[in-house]
Amino acid sequence: MVQDDAVPRQHRTVLLHEAVDALVHRPDGTYVDGTFGRGGHSRLILSRLSPEGRLLAIDRDPEAVAHATQGESGIADPRFSIDHNRFADYPAVMARHGVAQLDGLLLDIGVSSPQIDDPARGFSFRHDGPLDMRMDPTRGQSAAEFLATAPKERIAEVVRDYGEERFAPAIARAVVARREAGHVLQRTSELAELLASVVRTRERGQDPATRTFQALRILVNGELDELEQALEASLAALKPGGRLAVISFHSLEDRIVKTFINRHSREEFDRRAPFAEPKPALFNALARIKPSDEEVSGNGRSRSAVLRVAERTDVALPPVWTRP
């Protein structure tokens, strides 16, 4: 997935070969692509699998599911299936397909180029469209609905915490003042214009709307909570030797992935029992990969991407651990 930092372009899968090279270690294994998008990773995974291999794809966006199942872009491969769902719900998808454990799990977090470049989806401050931002437009509250009803303090909290925007209080005041004057924000262009008038300083190469649009998108789609749920579920979902590969595009996501892998890739000592044996690591951290200079020059949206890879050890989970 990508950041909104460029004009519309043909969709390019970020870190395509790096992610699939790290993920597929058994051609006859079973894998999950939790964020199908336009299928770049999935198609390459399928090319690496033997006839006995299997790929379960998931996407919460109905357009992505249609892309995988209809017309010339559809994937007609008996080893492939796709479910319309959140990626955090992959354990339930596994159960429906009779899969007990995985050889690999791939997550490409965030919004895709087709979503950004479609004004009707409301993700981009560069295009005028309805202020929606839902990855699944059939469910949940839109960004416009949130801004039309949320208290000033809640708006400021969201923009500050999810957008890391230091002008969050001023932005919240401006949104509420406009709302109280009878001008509820309904369009992306309206919000972008308001932000341009409130965010007084300019970060080099960054639009004043960038951080607030990011914050609203994360809120509307519950992205950080979903990522944490998916990572925790991987402890039980992956076989010994199974690979976890996660591509993130901003510091909030990457921090969650880094913290999770670090926490589970080292022995844990109980300070209350200094002579007890440490709890062994559940993961081995394998790699942190950034796009090459060549990829960034050809696709500026890949610039902030980070791929982290870990491998499940053969250490069993504690008896008290339950799948989220």
pLDDT tens-digit profile of 95-127? 999 999 999 999 999 888 889 989 999 999 999
> Confidence class of residue 74 from pLDDT cuts 50, 70 and 90?
very high
pLDDT per residue as tens digits for the range 166-193 = 999 999 999 999 999 999 999 999 999 9
Task: Calculate mean pLDDT across residues 271-290.
Answer: 83
pLDDT at residue 160 tops 70:
yes
> Confidence class of residue 274 from pLDDT cuts 50, 70 and 90?
low
pLDDT per residue as tens digits for the range 305-319 = 999 999 999 999 877
Alpha-carbon distance of 51 to 2, in angstroms, equals 32
pLDDT at residue 20 tops 60:
yes
pLDDT at residue 7 tops 90:
no
Phi, psi at 115, each rounded to 5°: -70, -45
pLDDT at residue 198 tops 80:
yes
Task: Calculate mean pLDDT across residues 140-146.
Answer: 97
> Confidence class of residue 267 from pLDDT cuts 50, 70 and 90?
confident
> Confidence class of residue 11 from pLDDT cuts 50, 70 and 90?
low
pLDDT at residue 92 tops 50:
yes
**Binding-site annotation: residue ranges for S-adenosyl-L-methionine:** 39-41, 59, 87, 108, 115
- Whether the CA torsion 282, 285, 286, 288 is positive or negative: it is positive
Domains of the chain, CATH where assigned: 16-113+223-312 (3.40.50.150), 120-221 (1.10.150.170)
Residues 6 or more apart whose CB falls under 8 angstroms from that of 236 comprise 91, 101, 317, 321, 323
Q: Phi-psi category of 54—alpha, beta or left, where left has phi over 0 and alpha has psi -120 to 50?
A: beta
Task: Calculate mean pLDDT across residues 17-35.
Answer: 98
Average pLDDT, the chain: 92
| Predicted structure pTM score | 0.91
> Confidence class of residue 200 from pLDDT cuts 50, 70 and 90?
confident
Q: Give the pLDDT score at 323.
A: 47
Residues 6 or more apart whose CB falls under 8 angstroms from that of 266 comprise 281
Alpha-carbon distance of 246 to 258, in angstroms, equals 10
Q: Give the pLDDT score at 278.
A: 74
The closest alpha carbon to 309, from 137, 122, 106, 167, belongs to 106
Task: Calculate mean pLDDT across residues 150-164.
Answer: 97
Q: Give the pLDDT score at 270.
A: 61
pLDDT at residue 320 tops 80:
no
**Binding-site annotation: residue ranges:** 39-41, 59, 87, 108, 115
pLDDT per residue as tens digits for the range 209-218 = 999 999 999 9
Q: Give the pLDDT score at 301.
A: 84
pLDDT per residue as tens digits for the range 51-72 = 999 999 999 999 999 999 999 9
200 burial (CB, 10 Å; 0-12 / 13-18 / 19+) is: exposed
323 burial (CB, 10 Å; 0-12 / 13-18 / 19+) is: exposed
pLDDT at residue 9 tops 60:
no
71 burial (CB, 10 Å; 0-12 / 13-18 / 19+) is: exposed
